[in-house]
């Protein structure tokens, strides 16, 4: 249920921001807005705004497929409310390295739910590493995708030039893993067991 609410709110806010430029400019992460005007809410609101419909669609499809499964795990372990806290905090934590790096850059803008979606995706990988993920219609084991994703994001973050915040992807991925392990340390043992036994039952069956 929480996953569907997050998707609905993100689509609604992004759609309104597409139509209203002033709303878009107020919600995106713009460092001077945080540092100079104390608009700290931008650290959260940027996660509900997207560059275009394709950007929004990609993030929301990913959240739809993996958010429901991870929300179910949270519900079993600690209750559904914790998943909401996890997602919202992931938006903030994922953007902090980028914000600190660009806090004096008045021309820098960042937006999108990618950091939080990365956290959800990697939480999924941790509890069921051999489950299949469809990447451009090609099925790939989640753990293999995770390794490739981290490597690619790190390389592109160093290279730059494509207007995608790969740093937030990496930060979100790390946060997703750490949050799960701190919330329920036994998940780490489950991960190792599943890693050693690809054909064994996963958390999701």
Report the predicted TM-score, pTM, of the whole model to 2 decimal places.
0.89
- Please state, for a pLDDT cut of 90, what percent of the chain lies above it: 55
Question: String of b and e for 52-77 (b: at least 16 CB within 10 Å)?
Answer: eeebbeebbebbeebbbbbbbbbeee
* Band (201; pLDDT cuts 50, 70, 90): low
Confidence check: pLDDT of 42 > 90:
yes
C-alpha atoms less than 13 angstroms from C-alpha of 106 in its C-beta half-sphere:
2
d(C-alpha 167, C-alpha 54), whole Å: 20
Lowest-pLDDT choice from 26-30, 130-134, 200-204? 200-204
Confidence check: pLDDT of 202 > 70:
no
d(C-alpha 51, C-alpha 195), whole Å: 37
Mean pLDDT score across all residues of the chain: 88
């Amino acid at each position: 249920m929480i996953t569907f609410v997050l998707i609905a709110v993100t689509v609604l806010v992004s759609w309104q921001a597409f139509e209203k430029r002033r709303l878009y400019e107020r919600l995106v992460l713009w460092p001077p807005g945080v540092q100079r005007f104390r608009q700290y809410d931008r650290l959260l609101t940027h996660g509900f705004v997207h560059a275009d419909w394709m950007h929004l669609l990609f993030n929301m499809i990913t959240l739809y497929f993996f958010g429901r499964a991870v929300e179910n795990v949270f519900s079993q372990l600690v209750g559904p409310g914790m998943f909401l806290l996890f997602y919202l905090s992931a938006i903030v934590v994922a953007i902090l390295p980028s914000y600190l790096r660009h806090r004096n850059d008045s021309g820098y803008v960042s937006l999108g739910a990618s950091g939080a979606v990365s956290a959800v995706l990697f939480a999924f990988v941790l509890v069921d590493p051999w489950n299949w993920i469809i990447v451009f219609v090609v099925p790939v084991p989640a753990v293999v995708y995770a390794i490739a994703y981290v490597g690619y994001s790190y390389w592109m973050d160093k290279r730059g030039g494509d207007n995608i915040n790969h740093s937030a992807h990496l930060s979100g991925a790390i946060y997703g893993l750490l949050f799960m392990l701190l919330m329920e340390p036994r998940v780490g043992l489950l991960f190792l067991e599943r890693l050693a036994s690809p054909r064994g039952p996963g958390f999701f069956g």
